[in-house]
Amino acid sequence: MDKVIIFDTTLRDGEQAAGASLNVQEKLEIARQLDKLGVDVIEAGFPASSPGDFEAVELISRELKRPTICALTSASAEAVDKAWEAIKGANHSRIHIFLSASDIHLSYQLKKSRDEMLEMSREMVARAKGYLDDIEFSPMDASRADPVFIYQILEAVINAGASTVNIPDTVGYATPQEYSGLIRGILENVPNIHKAIISVHCHNDLGLAVANSLEAIREGARQVECTINGIGERAGNASLEEIVMTLKTRRDFFNLSTNIDTTRIYRISRLVSELTGFSIQPNKAIIGANAFRHQSGIHQDGVLKKAITYEIMDPRVVGIPASTLVLSKLSGRHAFKERLSELGYTLSDDALNRAFQGFKELADKKKEITDRDIESLIAEELRTTTELYHLDHVEVSCGDHSLPTATVRLITPDGQSLADAALGTGPVDAVCKAINRIVDIPNELTEFTVKSVTEGIDAIGEVLIRIESDGITYTGRGASTDVIVASAKAYMNALNRLLSSKTIKEGGI
């Protein structure tokens, strides 16, 4: 049976989603889970875009042995060289070059002619070919470009050495018929197309990313670019779980398969949601909380008699756990480690010790520790390993007849311990103001949400905070059974992301 190559771009296009920035450790953890999930190619980042991206791509290239690690690059010699620098340590590496191809982009943005675009594309593919054989080329905004020009570009880049040609619907404009028509046109009009794999890359601006990708696959594309939970630039990319589960559930229609271990879908979806701070809408296909819940009496009756009456997929096939109750205060380090490994996490000894410590503290406060609690603990661990400022202590005093006051103590990047206090309109405001007195970086808090990880009054509270600075949004998350502590952690997390992005910029982009 024909295989469809799953190219995951959660760490690159997914991370381009406003407010989704991930630190290097978080990217590595997602990459490890993508490896276990069985994706064929991981687009780990755009090394020339920032030192942080470079570092993540380099680290993932060194750590993961099975999948192909891909680095994105613009069509400049310097950026191509940087991409190679970052991935040269990988067992299987790929360079992905993109350059705008539509007249709209060429005339308004690049101010280049079609001939210049063609020449640059050819040259950059040839340059990458000097480093490796696995080269992908994307004529950006292909779905709004002149198809005849796309045929010319593809012929030229394949002759120069591209082994995969990707057709981006960059702004999510195409309809399924138009997009599959473009793929058919490519198959009929590019004489050397048999030497390359056709890939599809669809954005979801009109909610058509998955439909467009599937139509293109039906027409002959054999690589699909997608992201976990469909995250990505603007309205996002085609969602991996929807594409994979459609191909699996409707094998009778597509007659195609993938290398994905679908029982890991739920787990990685939760991880990406935890680390990016993007919650999953309840009605999201495949992984939403309601995706397998039957509300109507008639449906429930049918499912009880025979699941197939109203269920086209078995929830176990996507890894939705039947029960999530796992550990308690009596569970030891071994049981904790075992459960982490069942959930797919591999932590270093130090990280495991810290996470176990967090588990013990939680188990003292909470009777039952579920998988969701563990996910929350691990996310907290990943958030804090690379932080600049560390929240060492927080204390508040508040009530209906008192002035909310907060005292905080932070450990600075150079190891100093600094304390300060502030009054606020409420305890969270007081905490943020006290932190600001020490960190002192202008920002505006734009979003604040608290939710409980599990049911029960003793549940962990997860706080999500978004702050804005210079027009850029930074997301922070924090978890604790005390929502004020969780808020302080979330604010510190957002500030740390803001600070590390400033440090990177000052480092010379």
Instruction: Please report which helix (H) or strand (E) contains residue 327, including its range.
Output: strand 325-327
| Shortest Cβ 174–ligand KIV spacing (Å) | 12
- The residue among 203 and 477 lying less far from ligand KIV, judged by its C-beta, is 203
Alpha-carbon span 237 to 226, nearest angstrom: 6
Around 125, how many Cα atoms within 13 Å sit in the side-chain half-sphere?
26
Around 423, how many Cα atoms within 13 Å sit in the side-chain half-sphere?
3
- Give just the sign of the alpha carbon dihedral 365, 369, 370, 376: positive
- The residue among 140 and 287 lying less far from ligand KIV, judged by its C-beta, is 140
DSSP 154: H
Q: Contacts with ligand KIV in 190-229 (CB under 6 A)?
A: 201, 203
Q: Does 98 bind ligand KIV (CB under 6 A)?
A: yes
Q: Does 480 bind ligand KIV (CB under 6 A)?
A: no
Helix H, strand E, coil C: the string for 131-193 is CCCCEEEEEECHHHCCHHHHHHHHHHHHHHCCCEEEEEECCCCCCHHHHHHHHHHHHHHCCCH
Residue number closest to Zn ion, CB atom: 13
**Side chain identity at residue 185, one-letter code:** G
- The residue among 138 and 500 lying less far from ligand KIV, judged by its C-beta, is 138
| Shortest Cβ 148–ligand KIV spacing (Å) | 20
Counting beta carbons within 10 angstroms of the beta carbon of residue 148, is it exposed (0 to 12), middle (13 to 18) or buried (19 or more)? Answer: exposed
- The structure tokens 């905070």 sit at 465
Q: Does 239 bind ligand KIV (CB under 6 A)?
A: no
| Shortest Cβ 72–ligand KIV spacing (Å) | 6
| Shortest Cβ 46–ligand KIV spacing (Å) | 8
Out of 10, 33, 143, 170, name the contact with ligand KIV by CB under 6 A: 170
Q: Does 74 bind ligand KIV (CB under 6 A)?
A: no
Return the SS3 of 376. Answer: helix
C-alpha distances (whole Å) from 121 to each of 127, 332, 343 are 10, 57, 43
> What is the CB neighbour count within 10 angstroms for residue 113?
12
Stretch that binds ligand KIV, among 18-26, 166-174, 215-223, 383-391 (CB under 6 A): 166-174
Out of 125, 140, 245, 495, name the contact with ligand KIV by CB under 6 A: 140
Of ligand KIV, Zn ion, none, which one sits near residue 138, judging by CB under 5 to 8 A according to partner kind?
ligand KIV
Return the SS3 of 454. Answer: coil
Binding site for Zn ion (CB under 5 A): 13
Maximum Cα interatomic distance, the chain, rounded to a whole number of Å: 79
- The residue among 13 and 58 lying less far from Zn ion, judged by its C-beta, is 13
Stretch that binds ligand KIV, among 165-173, 287-295, 427-435, 463-471 (CB under 6 A): 165-173
Of Zn ion, ligand KIV, none, which one sits near residue 183, judging by CB under 5 to 8 A according to partner kind?
none
Q: Contacts with ligand KIV in 424-443 (CB under 6 A)?
A: none
Q: Does 105 bind ligand KIV (CB under 6 A)?
A: no
| Shortest Cβ 98–Zn ion spacing (Å) | 9
Number of residues that bind ligand KIV (CB under 6 A): 9
Q: For residue 148, which of 103, 214, 83, 195 has the smallest C-alpha distance?
A: 103
| Shortest Cβ 161–ligand KIV spacing (Å) | 18
In total, the chain counts a number of residues equal to 509
Q: For residue 97, which of 111, 87, 112 has the smallest C-alpha distance?
A: 87
Q: Does 152 bind ligand KIV (CB under 6 A)?
A: no
- The residue among 22 and 494 lying less far from ligand KIV, judged by its C-beta, is 22
Q: Pinpoint the alpha helices (H) of 286-443.
A: 297-305, 333-342, 349-365, 371-385, 427-439
Please work out, in degrees rounded to the nearest 5, the angle formed at the alpha carbon of residue 439 by the alpha carbons of 437 and 440: 65
| Shortest Cβ 475–ligand KIV spacing (Å) | 21
Stretch that binds ligand KIV, among 163-171, 266-274, 285-293, 371-379 (CB under 6 A): 163-171
Q: Does 153 bind ligand KIV (CB under 6 A)?
A: no
Q: Does 168 bind ligand KIV (CB under 6 A)?
A: yes
| Shortest Cβ 237–Zn ion spacing (Å) | 6
Alpha-carbon span 324 to 280, nearest angstrom: 18
C-alpha distances (whole Å) from 450 to each of 158, 275, 399, 447 are 51, 16, 19, 10
Q: Does 13 bind ligand KIV (CB under 6 A)?
A: yes
- The residue among 18 and 304 lying less far from ligand KIV, judged by its C-beta, is 18
Q: Which residues contact 102 (CB under 8 A, 6 or more apart)?
A: 140, 141, 142, 144, 145, 146
Q: Where along the sequence are the contacts to ligand KIV (CB under 6 A)?
A: 13, 98, 138, 140, 166, 168, 170, 201, 203
